[in-house]
Structures are given as C-alpha cells and as structure tokens.
Structure 1
Amino acid sequence: MSIPGDGLNGLPSELICNIFRLVINFVDPRKELCRLMLVCRRWREYVEDSALLWTTISAYDGLPHMRRALKNSRGAMIDLNFPVSPSSTVNLEAFIVEAGPHIPRWRSLILALHSPPSWESALAPLTTTPAPNLQILKIFVVYSGHSISANPITLFGGAPAPSSLKDLTLHHIPVAVEPLSLSGLVLLSLIEVYTISTPQLLEILRGCPGLETLRLDNNPRLTAIESQASNIQPIELPTLVSLSLKRLDNGGTNCILSNIRIPNRRRVSIRADMRQVNARSTPFTSAITHIFHTTIPIADLPSSIIRVEATRDDECTIKFRNIELELVVDGEDRVRDILGWLADGLGSEAAECSVHLIHGWSRWDPVRLAAVPPPLVIKHLTISDSASDLFREALYIALARVPDPPSSDWFLPQIESLSLRFQTTESQKQLTSMLRNRYEGGKAELRCPMNLRFIELRGGPRPEGLVEEIKGITW
C-alpha cells in the first residue's frame, strides 16, 4: 500500500491510531503516549481523541495518569497492569479503588503482589463482584518473607468465572477453584497453588476441551488418587500443545498423564520431573502408552525415529511422533527407564523405531546413556556443539574400543549416521583415528560389522583430502 503525498498524516485516523498502538508499552504506556503527542499538534489530537490508545493502564504511571486513561478510554475495554515494581505513590489498594468501578470494562487484569497481611482485603472488587468481560486474569504473589494465608480466596463473589475468560494464571495464591466452574480456557497456569487437589484439577480439565497450554508446577496437593482412578473417565484435550508438570509428586504426574487424552494432535510439549520414579512403575507405562498413540492417520506421521538429547546433567529431551518430553531426571538409568516405558507402550511397533542419540553439555557416561532397552536400537549419533572436549574424547574411545571378548558387541554396533562439528585440527585427527580403529581393524572379524552410511561434518575449515580419507575408511 502506498502512503499519500502528505505521508502518515494522510492515512485514515483509525489506521494511524492502530499504528500508534503498536508502540505502546504494557508496563509503562504513559511514556510512549507522551512521545507521540510531542511530535506535532495533529498527532496530539490523534492520541487525545482515540479511546483505544488509553486502554492500557499501568500502576507504574501513577494515579493521575491512571485517572486520565480511565476517562479518555471512554467506555472501551481496558487492560490493567500492577507490575512487580510499581511507583511508590501507587499501592495496591489505591490501584484497585480506581479500577473497581470499571470492572465491567476489564478485559485483562495482571497483578504482581507482594505478600503483606492486607493484600487479601485489597482485592475486594475482584473477590466480591463478577467481571463479565474478563479474558485474562494473572495474579502473582511475589514472596517477600511474609507467610501466605492458608484461607482460600473466593473470586467473583462465588459466581462462576466469566465465559469470556481464556487465560488464568495463579502463582502462590490460595484460590477456591470449585466455585469458578471454569470453561472455555485456552491457557491455565497454576504454580504453587496449595488449595487445588487432583480431583478438582481433573474436573476443571474436563470442562476445558479447548485448552492449549497447561502448566501445573510445584502444587503439593496434586497427588495420586489410585482408589478412585478406575472410576475416572478419560479427559480429551484435542488442542493441547504444552503441558508442564515440574516439581510435582510422581503419583500426581502419573495420574494426570494417565487420565488425559490428546487426540488429533500435531505437536505436544510435556515437561515433567521424573527423578526417583520407580523403574518398575507400570502405571507410567500405561500413561506413556496412550500419550504416544494417536488418531492421526499413519501417512501423516513423521518417520519412526526417537530423538534422545542429553541437554544438561539433570535434563533430557525425548521426541517422538510430535510429542516432546522435556524431563528432569536423576541420571542415565532414569532415561533408560523412560525409554523402556515407551518401548512397552509401543509394543511390537518398537522394533521398527530407531533411536537418535544427541549428546549436549552433560557429564553423563556416554556408554551408560547409550544402553537403551531392547528392542530399541541407536542408529544415529549427534555430538552437539555444546559437548565438552573431554566428553568427545571419552565417546571416541568407547567407539574405537575393540570388543573383549571378541564375541561381544561393539559400542553402538548398528550406528548408521554420525553428525559432529570440528573444533580444532586435533579433533579431526581424533575422529579419523577412531574411524580407523573401528572400521579398519587388522582382522576382518575384529572390525565393526556395520559401516557408517552417513557422516555430517559441521564447521570448518577442513584440511584438503579429509572427506576423501573418511570415505575411504567407512565406505
């Protein structure tokens, strides 16, 4: 679209105001509004006359600007923000007093609260009055050494949450969830909410089929409900794409995974804490089974490669068929347990799946990490750029070590592809030395029986003849 001869001012007023809205900062909108109004008289008129430019209201700007914005927004829906470090002249009580009479206009409310004894009473409009048009509600309690009241807060005067509510985030705040009768949520984030139990959570999820993001971190009452588990009907979440279960009780993690279904998914990311989980935990096997089974037609599925990436000393990522498990684990053996659950869940199909092992920054033993449970087999190996030189050297030694006794297998005997980056000339020499020991042994019976089919050499520059030398060893 071409701009008229008189530039930006020649555009329709509505379009100009929409452009101006793009520069409004949610934390400090007053600064950008002032800058726009100082450009020229016409821009000042645009800003003053546009109700939409005054709908973002932050306590950071002080009460005078807040009152001006409430007036200039002229009945439009408003977005309210009480940030972590508001100006010293505006406390929570004053902010809520000004905003309370406009509660029918609230579109979003974000509160970052410290925890003095009076903050419960300061939320009176939110706890006693329905907010019929609220779409986003986020309340964070910033712990400051005060104890948090154990008495749950009842929102909206005990009435159900508005049907317009799409995003609910509660962090360290005791809220009575049962009266809310939540439905229509797209995002639900509950962190350190001590008042929610597993049955209450499952009931909420049952009423939110459109949920896309679910974060449930560090909630102590989300525990196992084994005595009731057989009576729970599976909960379908067909649009879920992100699930976080960090720092939860293992029984609660298993219960949640076992009772949700994610049909027709394209990509789902699940984050969970799997430390100290029983290696023989059959409930986890059943949970993993249904998570990885899908209603997507087989033709639409990616190739059956299970990607296992060791990212840090206590973290790994497992990716398979558009499911991404970001797991906190306590060592290489726990990764083996999880792959065992996956293999059990896939049944006969597991024999057709190859494993792609990716080594990142980690001090794990490469040999123990590579001990995947049968019938899974590692066929692809990547050494990422973050892997240390010591780890790379240990991995090369393991790959080059001749089996003893000869009847035993080589390390990663069926590896077909190798991907790595050259850091130094010395690392190039280490690679070629490893390949010769592995694939050019003096006696044919002492060589690795399967040659590499693919090598990716990232980085450079490479010395002349290196590629030809590697081809001569492995092909």
Structure 2
Amino acid sequence: MDTSSCHSPIRQLPPEILVEIVRHSVLQETRLRDLARLSLVCKRWSIVIGDAAVLWGTINAAEGLSAVRKALEMAKGTPLDISFDEITANITRKDFFESIGERIAQWRSFVLDFTSGDWKFNLKDLKNGEAPNLKTLHLSGGRGAEKSGDVITLFGGQSGLPKLMHVTLVNIPINLAPLQLCGLRSLNLEETWAISSTDIMNIIINSPNIESMCLRWLESLAGEVPSKQVFSRPGSFGNPSIQLPSLLHLSLEYIPVSFLNLLLSTIAAPQLQKFEVDCELKEPRDAQLLLAGLHHHIPIMTRLVANAQTFKVEVSFVAYYHIQIGGLDITLSMEELPFRHSQETLDWVFTHLGKPVKDIAFHLYVDDGDFKLAHLEWLARRITVIRLMLYSDAYTGTDLEKIIPFLSQPTSSAPVTWLFPQVEILETNLGWENGYADIVEMIRSRHSAEDGKDGVAAPVPFREIWLSFGRYRSPPPVNMEFLQEVQKVAKGADVYWEDEKLT
C-alpha cells in the first residue's frame, strides 16, 4: 500500500474508526498476514493496529507458526477464535497446540477439523484445562475415529461451561455426561458413538433456549432407553413434556427409530422453521413408531408446508422416498418394508400435508433403481405430478429406460389411466443410446392421444421438454436427427437441449 495514505485525510480518522476499517478489510483466510502488512504502512498505522488487540484474536493454523505466535503476542488478553484444519494447516499439530494451549482461558471459539481417523489429541489442555469463556466448540475427525475405542472427557469433566452455546462433534467420541451442558443454542452430533440417549435427553432438558439441533448417524442409540434418573425428573417426560420454544431447525438423520420415536414424542417445538427426518424403516413396527412420534407434530408440519411454492417427491431404488415441501423434509428408506406398509406410511404423510393432496402440484424426481411399476402407479393415482424428472446414471444406470414405454400408453391395471397424466414439463438425460426411439414414441403417443377414447382421458400435452446427456464425463456427439424428431412430435412444446432452447 502507498505510504502516502498516511498524509491523506485518513490521518484525521479517530483510532477506533481506523481499527474498524482495518477489521473489515482484512481477509479471513490471511488475516494475520494482512495485519502485519498493514502495520508497515506507516508509524501511526503500526501503533494503532499494534494496540488494537481485538484485531489479532482470530488465529488460523493455515498461516503458519510465526504468524500464530505473533498473533498470540499481539492479542494480549482479548478473546481468541482458534481454528485448525488439517488440510490447510501450515504448522504441525504439536507446535500449534503447544502455542495455543496456555491461553485456553481466552478461548471464545475452538474449531478443529482432522481429515484422518488418527485424531489423537496432542492438546492436553483440551482434556484438563478450563475454558470459562468458550462459546463455540467444533471437533471433527476423519472417518474411522469413531471406532478407535478411546473416549475423551473434555476440560477435566467440568460440571459447567457457562458460556458454551454451540457444540459440533463429528466422528470423535466425547464423553458429554460430565459437562452438564445447559446453555446451548445449537447442537450437532454426527457419528459420535460415545453419545448415549441419556446424554442427549439431559442436554435437551437443560437447554430450553436451543435453536438448532442436528443428530446424524448415531448408532449407539439403538435399543437404548434413557436412564431412570432422567425419567424421574419432574415434568421431564410426557406427551409431550419438553418445551423447546426457541427451536427453529431440527434435523434427525439415520438414528435408530426407537430413539427417534422417543425424541419426537417428548419434545414440543411450536416455532420450527425447518424439520428434517431421514430414517430407514426395516419392518412395520419401525413405520408405526415413526408415525406415532410424528403424530403430535401434525400442526407444525401443516404450517411448514402452508406457503410452499413447490412440492417435490424423489423416488430412487426399490422404495426410497424423499418428500421436500417448504420447511418439511422427510426421507424414508423402505427397501425391506412390505409394499402395503410402504403405501400406508406414505399415505399417512401425504394425508397430513395440510391440504387435499390432489390440489397439490408435485414435482417428481425419479432416479435409477430396480423399479417396480406398482410403486409408480400407486404414486400416480395418489398425487398430481406436473413436472417429471427422469435421470439415469450414464455409466451404471440400466433400469430407468424401462419407465418410458409405460408413459406411452394407458395403464393395464384398473382403473385404466395414463401414467402421470397431468405432467406438463418433462426432464430427462439420455444415459441410454437405444432409448431415443422410445422417447420419441412416448412424446408422440401422449400428444396425439384422443380424449375419451376407450373411456380414458387423454394426458396433458407437454409444455416443456428438457433433454440432456447429463452425468457424462465425455458425452457422445449430439444426435441432431433425434432432436429434430422430438421437435416434430412435440407439436409446439418448447424443447431444450443441455439448457438451451432449440429453435
């Protein structure tokens, strides 16, 4: 930077204004380097920046050992925001942890990301030190860490971390029981096998102001019931009894259905804005438990979908359904569930969307899988699909092409109708070279169908047709003859190739 800046009107700025300008101008990823360079502009800047300890409190291992030591020296007693990412770190674990460990009392946030399963802590202070000012704790280990067998108790098992508000633990087994967390605003636990159902319920009971909770892949909760000590707390359990008036985002993915039922049956979150459930249902009892847990959340589900602009359903593999409507996001894997129970489960969900299902215009996404026509026919009779997306993997997909002929004629099963007769927009990639003729014939059949012929209503003509190769690393040459044929049989529909409208 030109040193003449010190002779410009900027010299007249009060130091606190200059500090704010500097704070907003330095880049997050090169913060310490930028501060050091700005300090060299002129003597006044050097003094102001050097005296502003608050500027130096963000410490990233990517900037190297000398920068970290310089920042710790300049930060003095200001709160510290510390991050170590093994991918970008320009310093060894040992040097980094030894440098920051002695300042643990100043930690405001501590973010640690390991890429490998070898996450063993060099930082003894994380196990034994005290962090009374810590607000954010993020510990993430690479896959494999959760199976190491070692469980860590943080901060010597302090009975309270009064300012801790945000906790994220991924793949690192932490013993949460001694910490008695009570002021959380966000909790994110993923593949952390040391967590028990008692731990989670204790956290929820003691964190009435929690705003975001995400639980993923917690196999340790399978078949486990919270301890009697938790159940014995007055007003802790009921139907529902734990009030979470500030909870806005709840995400529950691949946790045992038994615990999912317990949690959903126990909490009340009237202000939810985002509700995500992703679970695997292996037997009818699993489906019953899920629906029982969801039952008293029906008013919330209804509110979440009330103003939705698009209603999306994704079908993939034998019985995998993803329903995304407004703030409601439900994924059900029902591969091992009998078809009848799959239908009953989906029907319950559709029935409680807050409005008649037939009045909802759905977008349906169908991906590769071992398809059963009965599944698609059931969906076609249950929901009104106006946008149909069919996508096949260019290298492994083999089954999606089987759907096209079923879209070309009325169903053979009663009641006889066209499959997805209200579809106005069709999207598909061409992962099969032999499918061109089938696609052309399907479009021709639907566009030339006569309404009422043989007592069957004709399908709605396509308004838009989006075609692409998609998912090819080296796509084959464009087949112009095929595209011209599509335009011809489309009879005025807008036809797109790789997002470009054909003229």
Q: Deviations over 1:78-119 (max 9, x none)?
A: 111232157676434x54443344333211012335776963
Equivalent position amino acid for 2:416 in 1: D
Q: Hey, what does 2:78 align to over in structure 1?
A: 76
Query: Helix, strand or coil for the counterpart of 2:407?
Result: helix
Unpaired runs of 5+ residues, structure 2, are 1-6, 431-435, 469-482, 495-503
8 Å CA contact 1:383, 1:420 repeated in 2: yes
Residue 106 of structure 1 is matched in structure 2 by 107
Aligned-residue offset at 1:251: 2.3
- The CA deviation at 1:338 is 4.0
Conservation of the 8 A alpha-carbon contact between 1:290 and 1:345: no
Measure how far apart 1:382 and its partner are. Answer: 1.9
Identify the residue that residue 237 of structure 1 maps to in structure 2: 244
Aligned residue in 2 for 1:440:
450
Counterparts in 2 of 1:327 and 1:450: CA distance versus 1, 3 Å:
same
* Partners of 1:42 and 1:313 in 2: CA distance: 69
CA contact 2:426–2:466 (8 Å) conserved in 1: yes
| TM-score w.r.t. length of structure 1 | 0.76
Amino acid at match of 1:261: A
**Distance in structure 1 (CA, Å) of the matches to 2:321 and 2:18:** 48
Q: How far apart, in 2, do the equivalents of 1:22 and 1:243 lie?
A: 33
Offset at 1:318? 0.6
Counterpart-to-counterpart distance in 2, 1:155 and 1:305 = 47
With over 3 angstroms needed to count, the CA separation of the structure-2 counterparts of 1:34 and 1:267, relative to structure 1, is same
1:219 is matched with: 218
2:347 aligned with 1:340? yes
Once residues 316 and 381 of structure 1 are traced to their aligned partners in structure 2, the CA distance between those partners, rounded to angstroms, is 18
Aligned with 2:93 (options 76, 91, 94):
91
Deviations, residues 186-232 of structure 1 (Å, cap 9, x unaligned): 22112232222113212211222333332222223212457989954
Structure 1 residues 293 and 117: CA distance shift in structure 2, 3 A: closer
Render the CA deviation track for 1:50-105: whole Å, top value 9, x for unaligned: 3222111133444443332122113221111232157676434x544433443332
Q: Which residue of the partner structure matches residue 282 of structure 1? A: 288
Shift in alpha-carbon separation, 1:263–1:434, aligned structure 2, 3 A: farther
Instruction: Note the alpha carbon deviations across 1:12-63, whole angstroms, 9 max, x for none.
Output: 5444433443465556543333444456666555543332221111334444
In structure 2, relative to structure 1, the CA distance for the partners of 1:131 and 1:456 (3 Å cut) is same
Specify the alignment match of 1:194 in structure 2: 193
Give the aligned residue type for 1:189. N
1: CA distance, partners of 2:316 / 2:187: 27
Q: 1:323 aligns with which of 289, 311, 328?
A: 328
Match of 2:371 among 362, 365, 368: 365
The answer to whether the 8 A contact 1:30-1:65 is kept is yes
Tell me what 1:177 maps to: 176
**One of 260, 270, 289 as aligned partner of 1:263:** 270
Amino acid paired to 2:184? L
- Equivalences for residues 7-406 of structure 1 within 5 A: 13-22=15-24, 24=26, 29-37=31-39, 43-85=45-87, 90-92=92-94, 94-112=95-113, 119=121, 122-142=122-142, 148-155=148-155, 157-162=157-162, 164-224=163-223, 232=238, 234=240, 235-268=242-275, 270-278=276-284, 281-294=287-300, 301-302=306-307, 307-310=312-315, 316-320=321-325, 322-328=327-333, 330=335, 336=343, 338-343=345-350, 354=360, 356-363=362-369, 365=371, 367-372=373-378, 377-384=382-389, 386=391, 394-404=402-412
Instruction: Give the match's secondary structure for 1:165.
Output: coil
Answer whether contact 1:360 1:386 (CA < 8 A) is retained: yes
Contact persistence 1:106–1:131 (CA under 8 A): yes
Unmatched 5+ residue regions in structure 1? none
Name the CA distance, whole Å, in 1 between partners of 2:146 and 2:373.
Answer: 48
Residues 371, 231 of structure 1: alpha-carbon distance in 2 compared, 3 angstrom cutoff: farther
**Structure 1's 156 and 372: CA in aligned 2 closer, same or farther, altered over 3 A?**
farther
Report the CA distance between 1:307 and its aligned residue.
3.0
Determine what percentage of the aligned residue pairs are the same residue. Answer: 21
Instruction: Give me the whole-angstrom Cα distance separating, in 1, the residues matched to 2:253 and 2:493.
Output: 44
Q: How well do the aligned residues superpose, as a CA RMSD in angstroms?
A: 4.5
The answer to whether the 8 A contact 2:187-2:214 is kept is yes
Aligned match of 2:477? none
Write the deviation string for residues 153-210 of structure 1: whole angstroms up to 9, x where unpaired: 1435422122x22211122333332232222322211223222211321221122233
Letter in structure 2 aligned against 1:356: F
Is the partner of 2:261 in helix, strand or coil? helix
Q: Partners of 2:59 and 2:351 in 1: how far apart?
A: 54
In 2 relative to 1, CA 10–159 (structure 1 residues): closer, same or farther, beyond 3 Å?
A: same
Distance 1:17 1:292, change over 3 A: farther
> What do the CA deviations read for 1:268-310 (whole angstroms, capped 9, x no partner)?
3x14232524377322221232333229879x92369853123
Whether the 8 Å CA contact 2:310–2:363 is kept in 1: the answer is no
Between Structure 1 and Structure 2, how many residues are aligned? 455
